[in-house]
Structure 1
C-alpha cells in the first residue's frame, strides 16, 4: 500500500479479518495484521511486517491476540419495549403454541400494554441497556422497529427513543415503522380500518417528522394479509420510503411475494417460503434475513429454504430479532452460531 508517515491511531498484535475474500480464504485474513486510522477513517491495513518505514502513530493499541473485524450490523431488532414475557417460554415448553398464548392475552399485545404504560425515560433506559450489550458484541449499526405501541402516541414515543439512542450512543441507528405488527385491540376485527389510518395519517405524520427510515409489516393470517401490506407499502412508496416484510414465518401467507412486488430491502424469517417465492425475491434484489433466535425459542421445525436461497443467489443475512417474547438474543454472534448449528450455514 502507499506510504504512510503518520496516523492518529494504530491497532496491531492480533489477527485481522478484512472479509475481502482471497482465493481459498473467505475471511481476508491477516494473521498478524495492522490497521491505521486518521480522522475517523481507516487509512492503512495490511500485515504488521509491511508497515511503511518511518511510520508513527499518536496512539498504539495492542490487540493482545484478539481478532479485529468490521463492525456488525444487526438488521432486525425490536429493541424498544417495556415489560417482560419470560413466563411465555415456560408455557411454550408445556405445549402452548404462539397462537394459544396470544389468544390468552399474551404475546405481542401483552408487550403493547406494558409499552403504552411506560414513559420515554423508562423506555430509553431499558433500550440503552439492551443496546449496550449489542455494542459489546461488536454491533456498530442497528435497525430498531416500532410496533409495540399500536397507537399514535406510543408509536411516536418508540421511534423518538430509537432516534435518541442513535444520537447519544456509539452506534448508527435506522428505524422501521412497524405499526402493522398485529391488530390493535381497539381495532379488533377491523384490520383494514387500522391499515387505512396508518397509510393515510400516521405514517405520513411520522415520516414528516423524520422518524421513519423504512416501513415494515407482519404478513400472517393472525396479523395482516398481503392486501393490507400492499396498501401500507403503496403509501410508503409515495413517501419515498423503502419497505421490509415479516414473511412466511408461521405459514406460507404471501409475504415474500409482497416483498418482491415492492422490491423490499428484506424479507425476514422465510421458514415457509417455497422455490417460487425465493425466485421472486432474487429477481427483486431483496435480501433474506434469517432469524435463528426466534426459530429456537419457538421450537420450530420448518427450516428456512436455504438450498433454494443458494440456488437463486439470494443474499442471506442473520440478525438477533431481539424482542421480549420470541428471541431474547442480545448477540448477533450467537445468532450466527445458531445459524450454523441449527441450519447448517457455514461460518
Structure 2
C-alpha cells in the first residue's frame, strides 16, 4: 500500500542526519520544508521532497493544502495508570514545597498509592484507556507507562497488568516500566531495607515471570531511595532482562 501526502504547507523535522540526542542550542533548531510532499509505503516513510518533484504513482493521495505534517510525539515518561488526582497538591508546589515535604504531610505518591490500592483493575483499565485515546488524539505515537502508585506486591502487579492490557488494546507502541521503588510505604518508614528486599525478592521475580515490564526504574532522591538501594534494585531487575532507568 502506498500513500502520498501532497501540497503540505510545512513538513516538520526533515533532518537528513540521524542523531542520538539533541541538547543545548541544537534544541532551538527545527528543520522544515515548505510546500512539500511525503511518500509512505507499507506504513513506512519512503521519501519526501518539494512539490516540484512530487511523484504521482501512489495508490492513495491526501491533499494537505494549508496544513502542517510533523512526527508524532514519543512520550518517554508517563504515569498514565492512576486513580484519583493530585491536583490539590499543585498549590503546595507553586508555594515552594518540595516532593519530600508534601510526602511528609501525607500527600504525594503515598496518597496516590492509597487511592490506587482501593481501585479495581477493571476500573483502572477503563480510566487509562480513555487517557491513552486522549493523548493519541493530541499527537502521541508512542508512550512509556510506569507503575509506582501501587507500592505493594498486589497493587504494583495490578498496575502492570493494566499496562499490559493497554499494550494489547492500543494502536500505538507502549512500553512498560516497573517502578515499585517510587516511594517508601508508611509501614516501612523505619525499615527501608525491608521494603527494598520486598521489591527485589517478591516483586521483581513475578514481574519478570509474567513479562510485565520492559524497564525497571527507581526514585533515587533525598527522602526516597539511596544510591545503594538504587544499585541493588536496578541490578536485580537487569538480571531478569529489564533495562534500567532512574528518577534522580
Scaled to the shorter chain, the TM-score interval is 0.7 to 0.9
Structure 1 residue 16 corresponds to structure 2 residue 11: yes
CA distance in structure 2 between the aligned counterparts of 1:41 and 1:93, rounded to whole angstroms:
44
Number of aligned pairs? 238
Unaligned runs of 5+ in 1: 1-6, 248-347
Q: Which residue of 1 aligns with 2:108?
A: 107
Structure 1 residue 245 corresponds to structure 2 residue 246: yes
How big is each residue's C-alpha offset from its partner over 1:289-334, in whole Å with a ceiling of 9 and x where there is no partner?
A: xxxxxxxxxxxxxxxxxxxxxxxxxxxxxxxxxxxxxxxxxxxxxx
Shift of 1:232: 0.5
Q: Which residue of 2 aligns with 1:51?
A: 54
Q: Which residue of 1 aligns with 2:237?
A: 236
Unaligned runs of 5+ in 2: 18-25
Say whether the 8 Å CA contact 1:20–1:26 is kept in structure 2: no
Say whether the 8 Å CA contact 1:146–1:155 is kept in structure 2: yes
**Runs of 4+ in structure 1 over 6 Å off:** none
CA distance in structure 1 between the aligned counterparts of 2:105 and 2:131, rounded to whole angstroms:
28
After superposition, the Cα gap between the structure-2 partners of 1:95 and 1:49, relative to the gap in structure 1 and judged at 3 Å, is closer
Q: Which residue of 1 aligns with 2:21?
A: none
CA distance in structure 2 between the aligned counterparts of 1:91 and 1:165, rounded to whole angstroms:
32
Q: Which residue of 2 aligns with 1:87?
A: 88
CA distance in structure 1 between the aligned counterparts of 2:118 and 2:42, rounded to whole angstroms:
43
CA distance in structure 1 between the aligned counterparts of 2:160 and 2:232, rounded to whole angstroms:
22
Q: Of the candidates 15, 20, 35, which is equivalent to residue 32 of structure 1?
A: 35
CA distance in structure 2 between the aligned counterparts of 1:225 and 1:96, rounded to whole angstroms:
21
What RMSD in Å do the two structures reach over aligned CA positions? Answer: 2.2
What secondary structure, in the 3-state scheme, does the structure 2 residue paired with 1:105 have?
Answer: coil
How big is each residue's C-alpha offset from its partner over 1:176-200, in whole Å with a ceiling of 9 and x where there is no partner?
A: 1000000122322221111112112
What secondary structure, in the 3-state scheme, does the structure 1 residue paired with 2:232 have?
Answer: helix
Q: Which residue of 2 aligns with 1:69?
A: 70
What's the TM-score once normalised by structure 1's chain length?
0.64
